């Protein structure tokens, strides 16, 4: 009972900011500035969700976020799974050193490397370019670690049997191992999509022109350019969370299964 109570309190604390954002997005401007705060609007102003699309190019921001998040997710599924499989199953010199390097990268925040990343992207001509939003996140240490743990949970006898039947390393990886770690791949895809969709710092470095702004960057720029109209701002913020929330609710069961099966070793 105490365990459930703690979980309920934690969920409530996490839900309150979203509830306040949703409430504010449905208020007229005067009620959003009222003191003491009004939790339930006296009049539900649904026009805030319509007007925000007319004031700012929100459709373009959503498109940019969708392209960047989809590209990052596909790259992570391919490259992180291949790197994780190599670290889990292949034998080569320096394997443990590389794995320690992956673990070390888990502790390095993006802020520590954003200047070299910016210089490299500028040198390669990838500023104001979709590739600049995708390539720096194409391989992530958390994804490599997640997939390594997933492949380690597979019985080694299955791969030995495949090699006896004449399958090479890549065919064993693609046709045997990948289907068996589908829940972990789905978990990796959800994590990658959410991290890229909510990413603010990388688009801030790469997108110098408005046509490449993503939703998080566009909302911040909207807040700086105009006076802070909280109902409009919260309406945009609520709509930003909808795609990720819907995807998570659809695949929640597989997400939990993937997390549970990748932490056993």
Q: Where are the domains of the chain?
A: 1-45, 55-261
CA distance 257 to 184: 8
Q: What is the pLDDT of residue 82?
A: 93
Q: What is the pLDDT of residue 264?
A: 47
Cβ proximity of 61 and 127 under 8 Å: no
Q: What is the pLDDT of residue 263?
A: 53
Q: What is the pLDDT of residue 18?
A: 85
Q: What is the mean pLDDT of the chain?
A: 86
**Structure confidence by residue, pLDDT tens digits, 92-138:** 888 889 999 888 888 888 888 888 999 999 999 888 889 999 999 99
pLDDT reading at 144 higher than 90: yes
Q: What is the pLDDT of residue 9?
A: 86
**Structure confidence by residue, pLDDT tens digits, 32-87:** 777 777 788 887 888 888 888 888 888 999 999 999 999 999 999 999 999 999 99
Cβ proximity of 21 and 6 under 8 Å: no
User: What is the pTM assigned to this prediction?
Assistant: 0.86
Residue 258's pLDDT band (cuts 50, 70, 90)? low
Q: Quick one: CATH architecture of 55-261?
A: Orthogonal Bundle (1.10)
Mean pLDDT of 214-243: 82
Alpha-carbon dihedral of residues 213, 215, 221, 223, nearest 10 degrees?
170
Task: Please provide residue 19's backbone torsions phi and psi, each rounded to the nearest 5 degrees.
Answer: -60, -40
pLDDT reading at 224 higher than 70: no
């Amino acid at each position: 009972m105490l365990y459930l109570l703690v979980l309920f309190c934690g969920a409530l604390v996490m839900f309150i900011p979203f509830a306040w954002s949703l409430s504010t997005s449905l208020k007229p401007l005067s009620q959003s500035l009222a003191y003491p705060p009004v939790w339930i609007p006296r009049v539900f102003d649904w026009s805030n969700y319509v007007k925000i699309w007319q004031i700012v190019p929100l459709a373009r921001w959503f498109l940019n976020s969708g392209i960047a998040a989809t590209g990052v997710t596909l790259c992570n599924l391919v490259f992180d799974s291949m790197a994780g499989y190599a670290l889990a199953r292949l034998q080569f010199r320096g394997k443990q050193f590389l794995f320690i390097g992956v673990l070390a990268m888990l502790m390095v925040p993006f802020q520590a490397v954003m200047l070299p990343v910016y210089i490299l992207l500028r040198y390669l001509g990838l500023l104001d370019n979709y590739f600049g939003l995708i390539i720096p996140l194409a391989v992530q240490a958390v994804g490599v670690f997640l997939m390594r743990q997933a492949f380690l949970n597979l019985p080694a006898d299955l791969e030995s049997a495949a090699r006896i039947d004449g399958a090479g390393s890549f065919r064993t990886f693609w046709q045997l191992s990948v289907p068996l770690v589908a829940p972990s791949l789905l978990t990796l895809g959800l994590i990658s999509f959410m991290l890229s969709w909510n990413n603010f710092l990388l688009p801030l470095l790469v997108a110098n022109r408005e046509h490449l702004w993503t939703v998080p960057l566009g909302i911040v720029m909207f807040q700086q350019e105009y006076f802070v109209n909280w109902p409009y701002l919260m309406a945009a913020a609520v709509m930003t969370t909808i795609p990720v929330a819907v995807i998570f609710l659809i695949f929640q069961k597989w997400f939990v299964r993937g997390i549970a099966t990748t932490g056993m070793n």
